[in-house]
Amino acid sequence: MTATTIDGRALGKEIRAELREDVQRFVEVKGRAPGLVIVRVEGDPASGVYSKAILRIAKDLGVEARLELLPADISADELHAALVRLNQDVTVHGVIVQMPLPAHLSQKMVAETLAAEKDIDGISPLNTGNLFLGFPSFVPSTAAAVMEILERTKTPLQGKRVVVIGRSNVVGKPLSLLLLQKNATVTVCHSRTTNLVELTREADVLIAAVGRPNMVTAEMVKPGATVIDVGINALPEGGIVGDVDFASVAEVAGAVTPTPGGVGPLTNVLLLKQCIEAAWRQIGGRPRP
């Protein structure tokens, strides 16, 4: 193996230590902790696990977080009213609504109702528009996690060829815009891309956000490239693998994230980072030293 393994858990620990201090500063200034609410409409068992993981990190950082569990048969009007109430609650600085929602509820309504300043996972049209325009905005936390990895590993982006495989609203699309902001030359690939290998072989930085086990193999990677694996794929025989065939790619790449232990551990940490940032913005910013 020639590549450096990018240790997401170690980076997560480093960021958490910084955030703990930031939360303490907030408490000193405001007399109470930043507040986070996770809204979960019952029905999807997987999102229960996800909520618990966020609550655990929040507790570790000193963020006041709670789960608002709503019944699966809640009406659109009732969900709307619950979100309006959270928008108005000054003790709540960040809100995330767990997806997927039951079929009778619209993700569009949620995105349009949530106050942009509390929308810490960047789903609202205002945050999305600001990201498009290159203005400060909250962004989907997985995209933020990938950018944080690239920044903390000092991976050069300016003028570099970056290929993103995947164009979803939660990962590929926001990531491509964030990379453009860093002056990378960005190519976004998807299921209809015809010359994928040709494109990926040119990438100085290759990011896979597809959801296909081990699809990125050594021959798709430029020697020395940085490879970031966003994919999380549960195997029928048990265990989790990424979109990147780690063993073979590590022979060619310069640096690569493992799965598990790469992007995954950072996603919720970045969600909390955006919540703490939201809290500061809502009280008028950090005090000058």
Single residue of 5, 212, 260, 261 touching ligand NDP by CB under 6 A: 212
Q: For strand 64-70 and strand 161-165, is the pairing parallel, antiparallel, or unpaired?
A: unpaired
Single residue of 186, 230, 253, 279 touching ligand NDP by CB under 6 A: 230
166 labeled part of a ligand binding site:
yes
Q: How far is the CB of 193 from ligand NDP (least distance, A)?
A: 6
Tokens 């349009």 label which residue?
112
Tell me which residue has its CB nearest to ligand NDP.
168
Q: Quick one: 142 or 282, whose CB is closer to ligand NDP?
A: 142
Q: How far is the CB of 33 from ligand NDP (least distance, A)?
A: 25
Site size toward ligand NDP (CB under 6 A) is 25
Q: Which of positions 143-202 make contact with ligand NDP (CB under 6 A)? A: 165-168, 170-172, 189-193, 196
Q: How far is the CB of 213 from ligand NDP (least distance, A)?
A: 9
Per CB under 6 A, 260 contacts ligand NDP: no
Beta pairing partners, 96: 38
Q: Quick one: 171 or 256, whose CB is closer to ligand NDP?
A: 171
Among the listed ranges 72-80, 176-184, 207-215, 280-288, the one in contact with ligand NDP (CB under 6 A) is 207-215
How distant, in Å, are the alpha carbons of 9, 139, 157, 185, 216 from that of 169?
25, 10, 22, 20, 21
Q: Quick one: 14 or 21, whose CB is closer to ligand NDP?
A: 14
Among the listed ranges 37-45, 151-159, 228-236, 275-283, the one in contact with ligand NDP (CB under 6 A) is 228-236
Q: Which of positions 94-153 make contact with ligand NDP (CB under 6 A)? A: 142
Give the closest residue to 269 by CA, choosing from 49, 101, 120, 46.
Answer: 120
Q: Quick one: 168 or 248, whose CB is closer to ligand NDP?
A: 168
Among the listed ranges 41-49, 57-65, 120-128, 231-239, the one in contact with ligand NDP (CB under 6 A) is 231-239
Tokens standing for residue 2: 């020639």
Q: Which residues contribute to the site for ligand NDP (CB under 6 A)?
A: 142, 165-168, 170-172, 189-193, 196, 209-212, 230-233, 263-264, 267
